[in-house]
């Protein structure tokens, strides 16, 4: 093979003013990060010590950052304002112990006052995602890391006095705009609390069972159509407290990342231990490994 042909195959080349061919290769730096979902931080069940143990384990790993998958606290949905605020403050303070950057995803349990039991006033600025925003900023956003584009979504919508998996029109337009700015070859990773795709309904209730509207993003097909033209490598999902891996159309991987709290700090959940995902990026390849940080339930 000629040297020129090799240069062409290695990347995109262009001609400088001096007419020498220069090769601009697309190389990706290897890195790792953690996906820590469903932390469910609360005052009981040893949850604070459990989360601290997870953080200590994370800090010993060679990773660039931590991405959470939602349900940071348990629970703001039905808590009185002072308790919900206290839980958010607890999470903010406890998570300062991470020795790497932390990116958060919002979960259903992080939405203040949706359940009647909370007694919340819907006009309170903290209502719904207001408290989350006050502590952690936007509920959907994107960032870039070593040539990869990360998109964090808010997958939860208020549905009466409950919630459901849904991406609203405003966020959909933002997502379209965010994707438009990307080169189609840029590798993309998405974080969502409620899954795009899951077999959860079948797993729990049998082969002919459908998912419920709280267990999956009800309009995920619309979003998947937007994503298909792009180089989406991985969709990290939370909410279900299981480990589930779906590789669709030889293209997108959907990974439900277990739960830091397993069965909400009451022990293993359907045989799955308290843990989190270590995601390794090697070139454009993605692999994962579930880290059991050795917590044993105290109740
Ligand atoms: Fe959860």
Mean pLDDT by groups of 10 residues along the chain of 299 residues: 37 38 66 98 98 98 98 97 98 98 98 95 96 98 98 96 96 98 97 98 96 97 96 98 95 97 97 97 96 92
Q: CB 216: neighbour CB atoms within 10 A? A: 24
Determine the 3-state secondary structure of 148 from DSSP.
strand
Tokens 């790497």 — which residue? 100
CA distance to 22, 140, 157, 166, 250, per residue, from 226 (Å): 34, 16, 20, 15, 17
CA of 100 to the centre of ligand 1 (A): 23
CA of 20 to the centre of ligand 1 (A): 57
CA of 71 to the centre of ligand 1 (A): 5
The reported pLDDT for the residue numbered 142 is: 98
CA of 258 to the centre of ligand 1 (A): 10
Q: Rounded to the nearest 5 degrees, what angle is found at the Cα of 293, between the Cα atoms of 287 and 299? A: 135
CA of 259 to the centre of ligand 1 (A): 7
CA of 260 to the centre of ligand 1 (A): 9
CA of 147 to the centre of ligand 1 (A): 31
CA of 7 to the centre of ligand 1 (A): 49
CA of 110 to the centre of ligand 1 (A): 10
Which residues have a Cβ under 8 Å from the Cβ of 275 and sit 6 or more positions away? 258, 259, 260, 262, 290, 291, 292, 293
The reported pLDDT for the residue numbered 161 is: 86
CA of 93 to the centre of ligand 1 (A): 20
Q: Alpha-carbon Rg of the chain, whole angstroms?
A: 21
CA of 193 to the centre of ligand 1 (A): 8
CA of 264 to the centre of ligand 1 (A): 7
CA of 39 to the centre of ligand 1 (A): 7
CA of 287 to the centre of ligand 1 (A): 23
CA distance to 77, 165, 208, per residue, from 212 (Å): 19, 9, 13
CA of 60 to the centre of ligand 1 (A): 25
* CB distance 236 to 188 below 8 Å: no
CA of 180 to the centre of ligand 1 (A): 32
Tokens 């549905």 — which residue? 159
Helix (H) or strand (E) holding 144: strand 141-145
Q: Which of 113, 49, 37 is nearest to 80 (CA)?
A: 113
In the chain, where the domains are located: 31-292
The reported pLDDT for the residue numbered 299 is: 64
Tokens (6 digits) for 70: 């939602």
CA of 27 to the centre of ligand 1 (A): 37
Q: What's 31-292's CATH class? A: alpha beta
The reported pLDDT for the residue numbered 28 is: 83
* CB distance 188 to 232 below 8 Å: yes
CA distance to 91, 196, 248, 287, per residue, from 221 (Å): 33, 8, 13, 25
CA distance to 37, 145, 276, per residue, from 281 (Å): 19, 11, 16
> Would the pTM count as exceeding 0.85?
yes
């Amino acid at each position: 093979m000629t040297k020129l042909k090799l240069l062409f195959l290695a990347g995109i080349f262009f001609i400088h003013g001096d007419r020498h061919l220069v090769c601009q290769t697309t190389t990706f730096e290897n890195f790792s990060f953690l996906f820590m979902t469903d932390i469910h931080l609360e005052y009981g069940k040893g949850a604070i010590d459990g989360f601290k143990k997870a953080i200590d384990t994370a800090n010993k790993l060679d990773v660039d950052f931590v991405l959470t998958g939602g349900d940071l606290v348990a629970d703001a949905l039905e808590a009185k304002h002072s308790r919900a605020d206290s839980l958010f403050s607890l999470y903010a303070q406890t998570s300062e112990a991470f020795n790497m950057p932390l990116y958060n995803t919002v979960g259903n349990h992080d939405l203040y006052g949706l359940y009647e039991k909370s007694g919340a006033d819907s006009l309170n600025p903290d209502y719904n995602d207001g408290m989350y925003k006050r502590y952690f900023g936007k509920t959907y956003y994107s960032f870039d890391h070593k040539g990869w584009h990360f998109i964090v979504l808010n997958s939860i919508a208020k549905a009466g006095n409950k919630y459901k998996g849904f991406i609203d029109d405003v966020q959909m337009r933002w997502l379209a705009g965010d994707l438009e700015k990307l080169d189609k070859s840029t590798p993309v990773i998405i974080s969502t609390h409620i899954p795009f795709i899951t077999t959860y309904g079948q797993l729990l209730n049998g082969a002919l069972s459908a998912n419920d509207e709280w267990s999956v993003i009800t309009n995920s097909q619309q979003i998947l159509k937007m994503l298909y033209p792009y180089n989406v490598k991985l969709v990290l999902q939370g909410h279900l407290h299981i480990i589930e891996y779906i590789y669709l159309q030889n293209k997108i991987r959907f990974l439900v990342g277990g739960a830091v709290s397993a069965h909400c700090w009451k022990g293993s959940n359907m045989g799955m231990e308290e843990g989190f995902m270590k995601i390794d990026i090697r070139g454009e390849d993605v692999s994962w490994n579930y880290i059991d940080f050795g917590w044993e339930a105290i109740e």
